[in-house]
Amino acid sequence: MFTSPARVVSVNVGLPRDETWAGSLKRTAIDKRPVTGPVEVGLLGLAGDEVADTKHHGGTYQAVYAFAREDSDYWAAQLGGPVRPGLFGENLTTTGIDVNEAVMGEQWRIGTTLLEVVSVRIPCSVFKNWLGLHDYDARQWQKRFTRVGRPGPYLRVLEPGTLAAGDEVVVEHRPDHDVSVSTMFRALTTERDLLPRLIGLDRIDPEAVQAAEKYVASLV
């Protein structure tokens, strides 16, 4: 077992609401707000939290989204204002762990919940519009976010339980490979030649594996 001083700073949830700026669906749940006390976690995510666009978000491979406070602080400097926990749509705001250097399939114990790193967040226009509403400099936001390459991971729930702000993040298992969250993100966005490295990682989001297999097939 690997231990670290990493912990959860904030647990954030939100429900869908109708918004004219929220893409073609006109509905979003990107606005996550901190909650206090233990939160129950099921196979599809946190109690009190839902997704609006079920075609592109949610499900077992996007049950929980984590983003590091260290990365929020970086973006606060870039955007010209503080970035509160949950503003980027994350369920867990962490500190003391580089979530983007976690390898795919890595397992975290938080409270009584066991979570597994399985996918990455791809920025969308709703994300851009949401930041623009808060008077941040969101120009070319998707490109800027992608260029930095620190998206934060989506987590699958292996063992439902409870977690809370202040809980330690304990890495219970780390697979023996070097495909990190940031590597997978670059493979799916700016560095497609990295896609073959996703093949054979049977613990990750199947859609990412399919994208890798399609890419390899196109090279033949």
Delimit the domains of the chain by residue range. 7-178
pTM of the model: 0.95
Quote the radius of gyration of the chain (alpha carbons, Å). Answer: 17
| Bridge partners, 93 (sequence order) | 10, 67
| Bridge partners, 8 (sequence order) | 94
| 73-105: pLDDT as tens digits | 999 999 989 999 999 999 999 999 999 999 999
Q: What one-character DSSP code corresponds to residue 140?
A: T
| 132-171: pLDDT as tens digits | 998 888 889 999 999 999 999 999 999 999 999 999 999 9
- List the one residue out of 108, 136, 104, 116 whose CA is nearest residue 2: 108
Rounded to an integer, what distance in angstroms lies between the CA atom of residue 47 and that of residue 26? 23
Confidence grade of residue 2 (pLDDT, cut at 50, 70, 90): very low
Q: What one-character DSSP code corresponds to residue 160?
A: -
The CATH architecture one would assign to domain 7-178 is: Beta Barrel (2.40)
How far, in Å, are 29, 146, 208 from residue 118 at the CA level?
A: 21, 18, 10
Position 3 pLDDT exceeds 80: no
Confidence grade of residue 202 (pLDDT, cut at 50, 70, 90): confident
Q: What one-character DSSP code corresponds to residue 194?
A: G
- Give me the numbers of helices (H) and strands (E) for the chain, helices first please: 5, 13
Q: Which helix (H) or strand (E) holds 129?
A: helix 125-133
